[in-house]
Amino acid sequence: MSYTAILDKILDSKDRTVGGDAASALSGAMACGLIGMVARLSIMGQYGLDDHQFIKLAEELDGISFRLLRGSQEDVKAYAGVCDALKLPHETREEMEERLEKIQETGERAAEIARDNGHLCKRVLRVGLILRGNSNTNVAADLEVGITLAQVGIQGAIGTMKASLPLIRDEEFRKELQNDINELSKEDNYYEDINGRSQH
């Protein structure tokens, strides 16, 4: 399914096949486009970064955007898998065990996709914070919208990960997932500039 078809389903209130994480991934992809645009419009403007740094950030965001669009597609597949697993028969002991195993498998997959999308959105947010105060002021409002969209992407991923926890019986996986949730939940009150130096 294309990302435009996914967007159409998100916009259709009667459709139940697309969940919040797909929408969050698309939100992150839109953030990439806006923040990348700001970086490109800051070239040759002496806004705090060298031109090659603006280009490097914009190109990184182009790559992340592609990955998030693909992540939205993967989420739709994973969500469908979870729904199918929950519908499996569970009359006999064997059926119950098979159903639980399938729920575990699909729940882990959904959580993994949300985790990956969330960390990508976290990187997008940090690029936005790098550009805040170091980019073309004429598109400052566009930058802030991009930052907000990245934050939406992070929160959506966290929500999906939390929703997946009850489906997962593997304690080690649950622990790792909770660590990812905690990491994504941390507010960024600093950023690393393009050279890796912490800025407050």
Range of the domain at 78: 20-199
DSSP annotation string for the chain: --HHHHHHHHH-TT--S--HHHHHHHHHHHHHHHHHHHHHTTTTS-SSS-HHHHHHHHHHHHHHHHHHHHHHHHHHHHHHHHHHHHTS--SSHHHHHHHHHHHHHHHHHHHHHHHHHHHHHHHHHHHHHHHTTSS-GGGHHHHHHHHHHHHHHHHHHHHHHHHHGGG---HHHHHHHHHHHHHHHS--S-EE-TTS-EE-
- In tens digits, the chain (200 residues) has pLDDT values of 898 999 999 898 998 888 888 999 999 999 999 999 999 999 988 888 999 999 999 999 999 999 999 999 999 998 899 889 989 998 899 988 899 889 888 989 999 999 999 999 999 999 999 999 899 999 999 999 999 999 999 999 999 999 888 888 889 999 999 999 999 998 765 555 555 544 54
In a domain, 7, yes or no: no
How many domains in the chain? 1
The CATH number assigned to the domain holding 121 equals 1.20.120.680
